[in-house]
Amino acid sequence: MCNNHRSMILASLRERSGAETNVWDRSAIRYDSRMSTDERAFLDAIIAAPDDDTARLVYADWLTENGRPDRGAFIRTEIELARTPPTTEEDERRRRVLIERRDDLLKRHKAVWLKPFLPFAKDSAFERGFVEALEVHASTFLQSAEKWFALTPLTRVRFTVCNAWDAGSASYVWWAERLFTSPLLSRLKVIELEHLQLTADDLTPLAAAPDLSRLRELVLAVNNIRNEGAVRLAAMPQLQGLEVLDLRGNGISDAGARAVAQSPHLGGLKELRMTRNPIRNKTWAVLEERFGDALTS
């Protein structure tokens, strides 16, 4: 890519990332003082529009020209891999080449590339060249998420624990309310909250969240939200963009299932998981009528 074209794109990215500042209150983010203005502009643009590959590819070229060719090659390789589904034999051959190249680059550099996110990121956390998924304690996420959001387009978080030992009080502290009232959740496309002993009361602050417009997948399997929690979720207009909802194993019976089936906000679901709940066949048929093949058994 010629320098003039890159300069024009970079100017556009700076303007775009500046426009996002008011949305995300990026003044609170602690930037790396060693990072150049150009690199900061690239990362801001990538983080602000995680589904757009344009900034990623221009950034990959910039990395190659500024002494980090392997990092640039890794981004380009993962993007090409994501754009090459295994539909033909030729595609399969190309994918094998790309996977081998990606694995080689990751083997040589993952210690450095994953370092800001350890021990909460795995090799599989990379998506189109950047760490996009973490598995983390709720308290750690609230304490460190701003730093992570400044470095990568983080879109998926699996929360592993919601209680933490507090040495001062010599007791466990429940972090669910602080987590669900945090504006940081508005940055995520996937929120996984499986097996955390959550109740309907814990969902109250989530139901009051002002912005979950990016959220596409919500996993609440194996908790204890029961009918009250299902009713609360069904009444949330913030879930209109949701595509996957996992409510398995929550003690939800007919009343909660009917609330989900009648919800005006869950019409976009492509997958609804409701098994391992005491729902009668008659009510299950109501769910099938509403959601069709999206209801998984």
Structure-token pair, residue 206: 């989530």
Looking at residue 20, its pLDDT comes to 43
Pairing relationship of beta strands 171-174 and 163-166 according to DSSP bridges: antiparallel
What domains lie within the chain, and their CATH numbers? 132-297 (3.80.10.10)
Quote the CA–CA distance of 4 and 26 in Å, as a whole number.
Answer: 29
Amino acid type, 84: T
Q: For residues 287 and 293, what is the distance between their CA atoms, to the nearest angstrom?
A: 10
CA angle 105, 108, 111 (to 5 degrees): 115
Q: Are 198 and 170 in contact (CB under 8 A)?
A: no
Highest mean pLDDT among 28-42, 67-81, 165-179: 67-81
pLDDT at residue number 11:
59
Average pLDDT, the chain: 90
The side-by-side arrangement of strands in the sheet containing 190-192 is: 133-136, 156-159, 190-192, 217-219, 244-246, 271-273, 295-296
pLDDT of 226:
98
Residue 69 CA, chain-centre distance (Å), reads: 27
Asked whether the whole model's pTM tops 0.85, one would answer yes
Q: Is the dihedral of CA 220, 223, 224, 227 positive or negative?
A: positive
- Would you say 221 and 275 are in contact if contact means Cβ atoms under 8 Å apart? no
29, pLDDT greater than 50: no
